Structure 1
Amino acid sequence: MFPVYNISDFVSQRPESLGTKEKTWVLPSEGHELVRRPHLFKIGRPNTGENWAEKVSFELCKLLGIPCASYDFARIGDVKGVVSERFMPDAAQFIPGNMLLARVVDGYDGNKRFQQIDYKIGHVLNLIKRLRGLRKPVGWEEELKNLSATEVFVGYLLFDALIGNTDRHHENWGVVVNVEKENISVHLAPSFDHASSLGRNEPAEKRSMRLTTKDHRATVEAYAERGKSAFFGSNTPGTLHLCELVDELVKVYPEATQFWATRIGELSEEAFSKVFGQIGEEWIDEGAARFAIRMLCANQAMILGATNV
């Protein structure tokens, strides 16, 4: 079973302003098994499944070899959440995507998180590609040596399609500016914040209906097929469906898309089930786990079909 860390005696450092969920930075106590570095404690909203969705997504990233912030179950008294070690060196600075886009896309409103029609997948991929000297995430340069930073980011987007992540908005990716002595390097940040995924917010009665219905319009697979990304397309009035996002990636980065789709295809339903089987019942119920596993299988099939893997 995945451990649940009691962090009641951790030193509280400061609240985190980025994002919408309640969160605070804490420092593990001396001798604790968690590394004594700043950790972000994120409190999942009640009855949303945000905590288990974050943990499952991290475990799947590990299986796929996708750079990702770590997430572990944690609690302070009766308050449950996940704790995540700071994903960059102490002297480094994180610059979110909205700050980058506002500098290069004419009229881009970096303060508008949602319904930002200039938040187009083409703008984002071109920006990352043209960032001079952009390196892969810190600590991943050898393991992913055959990929560019942009191709690693393509992996993040394919992963979004797998888990049904609807929340890759312009503050949920960015770059890390790392300073070591007199050397400055700029790296793609690891993937993070995957809580809006895996159908975690579906009410129990709807999940049950979708798991058992014979109406093909209401199944888990139909639910997965309607999944939306946060990106607008070039010629679409609304945000792209996740399947449309995959199609866009196939067009512009076919080799990278094929690379990550192949890794996704190597995961079995048994591998998905094994991850969920390590979560205690106080964090997730059986119906939510069954729903999420079927959703993963449906999205996996969609990705493999779109990429001909």
Structure 2
Amino acid sequence: MKSFDRIDACDWELIEDETAGVEIKWWLRDSENNSWLFKSVTVKDGFRYGEDWSELIASHLAGLISVPTAPVQLAHRDGFEGNISQNIRPETHELQPGRVWMSSLRIPGYEPGNVRGRPGHSLTNICESLEGLLPPPNHEYPPSFSAYDAFCGLMILDAWISNRDRHDENWSVLIPLIPGEDKRLCGSYDLASSLGFNLHEEKLLRILATPRGIHMWAERGTAHRLEHVPPSKPVTLVQAAKASLELASEEARQYWLAKIDSLDTTSAAAVVARVPEMSEARRSFITELLSINAERLQNECRINA
């Protein structure tokens, strides 16, 4: 099976720098006039983080469960390795991060940004804020799906890939710029903080050598970007996925439960196998993690369903 190629983006047009975040980010334009965000990987104390391959894998896994997500490719530019993710904002809309959208609605108790405990950034408030909005463009959902029904897919994806970074700027709504267009949930993006992207090889090997090591690592994955009351622990990512379904329509609940039941770990392993320059230990860790999280979702989300 052919490995994923690393795109040479050195000759792509530089549109502008992206100032959000700490890593190097550039908005680029390819030869077909598509805009892409280049994000460099983090290198700290000699260790290369894996944001490029984690987001690449996550984007392909999202497709396996019909979650609209920005296309991602490995890339390099000006001596930096990273990935490029395609701009999924339609020209007919502006993109408002959840932080801006929820603030504009003046939801009681909501405090935007990186506030301890993430007050107000709860599934209940997110559901309320998305009332009346439609799913992302080019979705494959049933016609009755609401924006929140689609949002549940983000929570299920996060639980599957151990993505703990679904804060109020990592989901967005699309606001129409011209009459006749609808307000919509935006597709998913910025999935790099997943699949143990920041695990040093030595720690990864210790986890693999520990009985039930990957299980224990997976179970420590919490939805700490959602509202919780410190010092109590946030719920796990799987518990958050289940809680999201409890607020969804009945049709959406059954739709997502069917998706969970059919999580294809064989296809997921095939995606992981295509990533170049990855140790076999890391491939084993990621493949087993996806299998474990799929089983956890299947077991926990079916309770009282």
The verdict on how the C-alpha distance between 1:27 and 1:114 changes in structure 2, with shifts beyond 3 A counting, is farther
Q: Paired residue for 2:257?
A: 261
The verdict on how the C-alpha distance between 1:70 and 1:114 changes in structure 2, with shifts beyond 3 A counting, is farther
One-letter amino acid of the structure 2 residue matched with residue 69 of structure 1: A
One-letter amino acid of the structure 2 residue matched with residue 9 of structure 1: D
* Count of aligned pairs: 294
Q: Paired residue for 2:184?
A: 187
The verdict on how the C-alpha distance between 1:111 and 1:222 changes in structure 2, with shifts beyond 3 A counting, is closer
Q: Out of 287, 300, 305, which is 1:306 matched to?
A: 300
Instruction: State which drifts further: 101-110 or 19-28.
Output: 101-110
CA distance in 2, matches of 1:48, 1:179: 38
Cα deviations across residues 59-86 of structure 1 (Å, max 9, x unaligned)?
Answer: 0111111111111111114311111121
Q: Out of 14, 23, 45, which is 2:16 matched to?
A: 14
Residue 150 of structure 1 aligns to a residue in which SS?
Answer: helix
Q: Paired residue for 2:122?
A: 120
Q: 1:234: how far off?
A: 8.0
CA distance in 1, matches of 2:67, 2:125: 22
Instruction: State which drifts further: 165-174 or 252-261.
Output: 252-261
One-letter amino acid of the structure 1 residue matched with residue 70 of structure 2: A
Q: 1:37: how far off?
A: 1.6
Tell me if structure 2 keeps the 8 A contact 1:71–1:83.
Answer: yes
Q: Paired residue for 1:280?
A: 276
2:147 is the alignment partner of 1:149: yes
2:134 is the alignment partner of 1:139: no
Cα deviations across residues 28-82 of structure 1 (Å, max 9, x unaligned)?
Answer: 13xxxxx422111111212211110000000011111111111111111431111
Q: Paired residue for 2:96?
A: 95
Q: Please, which runs of 5 or more residues in structure 2 have no aligned partner?
A: none
Residue 38 of structure 2 aligns to a residue in which SS?
Answer: strand
Q: 1:233: how far off?
A: 4.5
CA distance in 1, matches of 2:71, 2:116: 26
CA distance in 2, matches of 1:137, 1:250: 18
CA distance in 1, matches of 2:249, 2:288: 27
The verdict on how the C-alpha distance between 1:114 and 1:261 changes in structure 2, with shifts beyond 3 A counting, is farther
Over the aligned positions, Cα root-mean-square deviation in angstroms equals 2.2
One-letter amino acid of the structure 1 residue matched with residue 181 of structure 2: I
The verdict on how the C-alpha distance between 1:306 and 1:257 changes in structure 2, with shifts beyond 3 A counting, is farther
2:271 is the alignment partner of 1:270: no
Q: Paired residue for 1:178?
A: 176
The verdict on how the C-alpha distance between 1:189 and 1:208 changes in structure 2, with shifts beyond 3 A counting, is same
The verdict on how the C-alpha distance between 1:248 and 1:82 changes in structure 2, with shifts beyond 3 A counting, is same
Tell me if structure 2 keeps the 8 A contact 1:200–1:288.
Answer: no
Cα deviations across residues 263-305 of structure 1 (Å, max 9, x unaligned)?
Answer: 2332333212100111111xx3222221111111111111000
The verdict on how the C-alpha distance between 1:112 and 1:210 changes in structure 2, with shifts beyond 3 A counting, is closer
Residue 226 of structure 2 aligns to a residue in which SS?
Answer: strand
Q: Paired residue for 1:106?
A: 108
Residue 232 of structure 1 aligns to a residue in which SS?
Answer: coil
Q: Paired residue for 1:164?
A: 162
CA distance in 2, matches of 1:44, 1:17: 15
CA distance in 2, matches of 1:97, 1:251: 21
2:221 is the alignment partner of 1:227: yes
CA distance in 1, matches of 2:194, 2:281: 15
Q: Please, which runs of 5 or more residues in structure 1 have no aligned partner?
A: 30-34
CA distance in 2, matches of 1:228, 1:252: 19
CA distance in 2, matches of 1:258, 1:307: 11
**Overall identity of the aligned pairs, in %:** 25
CA distance in 1, matches of 2:141, 2:270: 25
Q: Paired residue for 2:284?
A: 290
2:59 is the alignment partner of 1:63: no
Tell me if structure 2 keeps the 8 A contact 1:122–1:234.
Answer: no
CA distance in 2, matches of 1:240, 1:267: 22
Tell me if structure 2 keeps the 8 A contact 1:114–1:169.
Answer: no
Q: Paired residue for 1:37?
A: 34
Q: Paired residue for 2:241?
A: 246
CA distance in 1, matches of 2:121, 2:177: 30
Q: Paired residue for 1:32?
A: none
Q: 1:193: how far off?
A: 0.8
Cα deviations across residues 201-220 of structure 1 (Å, max 9, x unaligned)?
Answer: 11111111111223x4xx00
